[in-house]
């Protein structure tokens, strides 16, 4: 299994767009680089007309897409495959430089720091 960006939460409905159609959100393990995002959007093989990769918005460590409840499971499985392919291509291109490693470590430290604050503030 390739090391890289992984889905780190189950899907959550965050907004009702219209009747039986929602904005769905999943967390990913780290904020992707611009190169990784390009790979995510451009190298996919199993894209369907009703769910193109560009319909998935990447914002920090969140992926968002719109869906009816019946197709969420299928779309999340597709996103998991897309994540894995982008990770494989990213690794094969050697774009995981020392600078990116340090950036990931810094993001992890920041997340840990924010987690501490969130725990402290949880009961406010």
Structurally, the chain folds into a number of domains equal to 1
What pLDDT is recorded for position 96? 56
CATH number at residue 91: 3.30.310
32 lies in a domain? yes
108 lies in a domain? no
Give pLDDT tens digits along the chain (124 positions).
Answer: 457 899 999 999 999 999 999 999 999 999 998 889 999 999 888 788 999 999 999 999 999 999 999 999 999 999 999 999 999 988 887 655 666 677 778 888 888 898 899 899 988 8
92 lies in a domain? yes
Domain boundaries, position 52 = 12-96
The tokens for 54 are 């560009």
Q: What would the pLDDT profile of 42-62 be if each residue is shown by its tens digit?
A: 988 878 899 999 999 999 999
Count of positions (residues) in the chain: 124
Q: Quick one: DSSP state of residue 54?
A: G
Pick the closest to residue 25 from 71, 83, 76 (CA basis): 76
Whose tokens are 């199993």? That residue is 46
Tally of CB atoms within 10 A around 48: 9
Residues 6+ apart with CB under 8 A from 6: 28, 29, 83
62 lies in a domain? yes
Tally of CB atoms within 10 A around 86: 25
How far apart (Å, rounded) are the C-alpha atoms in residues 33 and 22? 27
3 lies in a domain? no
| Helix runs in the chain, H state only | 34-42, 72-93, 98-121
């Amino acid at each position: 299994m390739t090391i890289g960006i992984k889905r780190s939460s189950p899907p959550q409905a965050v907004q009702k767009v219209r009747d039986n159609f929602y904005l769905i959100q999943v967390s990913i393990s780290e904020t992707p680089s611009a190169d990784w995002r390009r790979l995510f959007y451009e190298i996919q093989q199993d894209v369907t007309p009703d769910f193109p990769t560009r319909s998935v918005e990447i914002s920090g460590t969140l992926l968002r897409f719109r869906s009816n409840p019946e197709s969420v499971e299928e779309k999340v499985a597709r996103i998991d495959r897309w994540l894995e392919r982008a990770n494989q291509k990213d690794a094969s291109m050697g774009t995981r430089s020392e600078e990116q490693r340090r950036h990931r470590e810094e993001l992890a430290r920041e997340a840990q720091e924010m987690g501490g604050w969130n725990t402290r503030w949880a009961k406010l």
